[in-house]
Amino acid sequence: MFKCRALVALRQHAAARAVYNSFAKEYEHIYGESFEKEYQALLVD
């Protein structure tokens, strides 16, 4: 999720959210469960 943090640092918030949403959807498809971290929590850690 470093890509999301990098995009936020570049003030490309919409792109960062799109990357996260795409990742979360693919994660759920592969593992059959939702990704445990929310978008905001990912940026804080």
pLDDT in single tens digits along all 45 residues of the chain: 899 999 999 999 999 999 999 999 999 999 999 999 999 998 886
Count up the domains in the chain and report the number.
1
pLDDT for 43 equals 87
Would you call 41 helix, strand, or coil by DSSP? helix
Q: Which domain holds residue 20?
A: 2-44
Query: For the chain, what percentages of helix, strand and coil (3-state, to nearest 5) are there?
Result: 75, 0, 25
pLDDT for 1 equals 82
